[in-house]
Every structure is written in structure tokens, then in C-alpha cells.
Amino acid sequence: MISITPLLILYTSVLALLIYCLLNLRTLFLNRRSSHSPLPPGPKPWPIIGNLPHLGAIPHHSLAEMAQTYGPLLHLRLGLVHVVVASSADVAAQFLKTHDAKFSNRPPNSGAKHIAYNYQDLVFAPYGPKWRKLRKICSVHLFSAKALDDFRHVRQEEVGVLVNGLAGAGKRAVHLGQLLNICATNALGRVMLGKRVFSYGTSAGTGDAKADEFKDMVVELMTLAGVFNIGDFIPALEFLDLQGVAKKMKKLHARFDSFLNKILEEHSSSGNADLLSTLLSLKDVEDSEGGRLTDTEIKALLLNLFTAGTDTSSSTVEWAIAEVLRHPKVLAQARKELDSVIGPGRLVTELDLPRLPYLEAIVKETFRLHPSTPLSLPRMASESCEINGYSIPEGSTLLVNVWAIARDPKAWADPLEFRPERFLPGGERPNADVRGNDFEVIPFGAGRRICAGLSLGLRMVQLLTATLVHAFDWTLADGQEAGKINMDEAYGLTLQRAVPLMVHPSPRLSPPAYNA
């Protein structure tokens, strides 16, 4: 009897050789078709797998280094796929503004297939009627100015609950990122479902086991989504799942689906008036573009909101607090502003935020140095175009290196320094906007596929950062010095800290402020 393993190896080798030959023929054909303008420069690809080995452990770092050698418009070949990377504000603007309509679709990818209900969600849905339907629902019912104002009290109450727990933590060190995640999830949960999703545990300043599990699930999702899966770039090898990514994604999807099904089951008898009730009512409404809303689309939308809409905000605030602790002068200036505007007798509210320009500058600087999505979600060229004299073939995948753009020394003075003053009058970019209009700092992306939850994310990050800076003094766990905080990044689609921020909070306001 012949062992199946040698047959599989033989089959894979023959298949790989065939793919390599086809790839060379395809490349020659594309180059002949666009001989008047070459592809952008980039490192020489390996046979078959292309430039996949060049991506390294943290791709946005590796791509930034490549841009220093080959320029801000980079071409890679990942398997069979042409990939172009924008690493400067000017190049990003050409893709996301000038040619935005040609780059409004997502390329096929295993994450959307195995986790996001096979492209039924808002983030990965193809650009068209279904995507416009989901975007419209979110824009009207969740992210409009009116909706945000209507639920302002919810966000403030949840921040108050967090503050109360931190004030009672005593001498215990708290995992700040975990508690921030619970706060952001509960704030969204009350708007979406009419109730909190998690508790803070039996001890003040701690999370519960379900919250820990949920956070782990979200981090795993972002880690898996950040993997450059060979099967996405060499479709003929997809069934082999060489990295085991698809298997992990399917297992994780089952966990999320169970979580979401439980939410739907519990909600059916709650009688709450919330966004989920609105979504369920839309199942009976025929949309002129995208048809009726389905249960799968509802779950996919909830998945988007409870992952991208919570962890990104909490992680950004964790980075912000780490930065102000590392920079005592920044912390002192922020406290001076907060004490002057708010005083010691109450907590910050959202209505206070426009009167806190230095705090806003701290948040902008955090978004610049630590964008929640350092390497943009991929887009795909629906037709060929030309950028900076280079040919961008139809079907190419576009990646925007948001992290590299925000650290470009041609755009920023001392780009690696945390310096909020650069966003204040007299600074280098006093009017810079993080809402997708100034391409030097685009933490939420830009163009048609800009983050739908931008306005909510901004409010939540500003409110949480202002409150934590105003309400507490902070010392690091285990006697660590603030100047030596580990600022390494973990691998993933979103920018997680490699080492969680463990801190001791100490109330600095009058006692009544913590019982609001």
C-alpha cells in the first residue's frame, strides 16, 4: 500500500510547479499589456510564494523598512496576487481620494469567509447594494449625530461605573486594558441590546471570567485576521490550510456564533427598545437596494460592532495612558487643563470635551503613533489605473501603511517623539483632522470604506482618556519606573500592546465625584 503522505507531497510539488509557470506567464502578459508604465518597485519575489517571507513578524514594520529602500509606492507579489502598498500621505491620497471609486471593494480572504459569515458583514461585504444597506443602518441608527447625542448618558454612566470600580481597587494592581474593554463593550451593549454585556467581577477593579474570555476571543480574531494566509494568495493551495489558519478561524467563528445566538435568544423576550430591536424589525422591510435584512446579516453586523467597535477604543486609551505616564510634563499639562475646566468635584462629561484642546491633542498624538489598525484593511482594484507613473493592475490588492505614514520624517518633525503640542496653535499641524481628510494621520482610514464608527470611537477615546487622567494618579505595578514602560507592539490586525499595562489607581478628586 502506498502511503498518502508521499502522494500528497508529490501532488503539492507538481501543483506548485504548475502555479509557478502560470504565474510567470501571467506576469509576462500583464507586463506586455502595460509596458508603457511599469509596476512599482519592490523586492525580488521568491518562486511561487512571492514576497510572503519578506513580511516578517510584524508586517507594518517590515513594509515601512521596505518603503525606505523602494519608495512610498511599493509593489509586492504575494503568491498569485499583485499587492501595492502606500506608505506616504501623498500616495495614500491618490488611492483613497483620487481613485477611491476603483478601490472600494475587498479582495477575497479567509477571515471574511470563515469568521465574518462569508462576507455578510459591513466590513467585508462587497461594495454594492448590500454594503450600502448595512452602512445606512449604522449611520442612521447608531453613528449619526442625533444617535450619539441620544446615548451620551449611557457612555458617561458606563465610564462612571469604571471610575467607581477603579476608586475601590485599593492597593491591587489592575489590568487597565481589560477594564477599558469591559467599559467600551457595556457602553455599546446598552445601546445595541439595552443591557450590559459583562460585569466587573466580584472584586473592585477586576473583570469577570466571561469578559476575559471575550477579550481573548477578540484578540485571537485580530491576530488571525492579521495573518497573511498562503491560501488567500495561492487559491489552489487553500484546501491544504498549510498554516492551520482556516481551522482556527472556523473554531473561533463557532464560539462567536454561539455568543451571538445567545444574545438573539435572550433578546427575543426582553422587550427592550434598542438597536437590535430595530434591526429585527427591519427583517420585514424590503430595502430598495439591499433587500430584506437577514438573521445572518444581523449577527455579522453585531460581530463587527462587538469586535472592531470595542477593542480598538480600549486599546487606544491604554496606549494613551501609557504615553502620558512616560511623559510627566504632558501629564502635568493635561491635569492643569482638566483641573481648570472641570475642577475637583465632578467627572468629565462629553460636553466638556470641546473645551479641552490639550487633551484632544494627546488623543490625536496617540492615534498618530499608535493607530488602532496600523495596516489598513485590504482593498482591491476594480480596474487598472496609474499612480506616480506606475501601473496598478486590475485585481491588485491595496494596503495602506497607516503606521508608516504617521511616522514619515518627511511629514512630521521628530516623528518618533510623543509630542501633543504639534497639534496645537503654533505647532506643525494645528488643524490636522483624524477623520480622513488629512492623509498624514488617518487612523480610521479614508474614502468610501472609512471606519463607520469613527465618531463614536473618537468620543469614547476622548472621554475615557480625559476621565482617567483627571480622576486618578497612577503608579505602575511592581515598582516599575514610568520611563521604562514596555511599548512593544503585539502582532495582529489591530495594534495591541505586547505587555498589558498593569497599574495602581489612586483617586485625586473629592470623594463625591466617584459616586456620580
Cell of 48: 511561487
Place of cell 496645537: 424
Paired with 497 in beta bridges are 489
Summarize the annotated binding site for heme as residue ranges. 451
CA terminus-to-terminus distance, the chain: 76
H/E element, 471: helix 454-471
Helix axes 129-141, 295-308, angle to 10 degrees: 60
Closest CA to 67 of 45, 103, 91, 50: 91
Helix (H, G, I), strand (E, B) or coil at 82: strand
Q: How far apart are CA 480 and CA 314, in angstroms?
A: 22
Summarize the annotated binding site as residue ranges. 451
DSSP label at residue 95: I
β-strand pairing of 502-507 with 472-476: antiparallel
SS3 track for 180-247: HHHHHHHHHHHHHHCCCCCCCCCCCCCCCHHHHHHHHHHHHHHHHHCCCCHHHHCHHHHHHCCCCHHH
Q: How far apart are CA 187 and CA 115, in angstroms?
A: 24
For 42, how many CA atoms within 13 A lie in the half-sphere containing its CB?
A: 26
Does residue 389 come out as left (phi exceeding 0), alpha (psi in the -120 to 50 range) or beta?
left
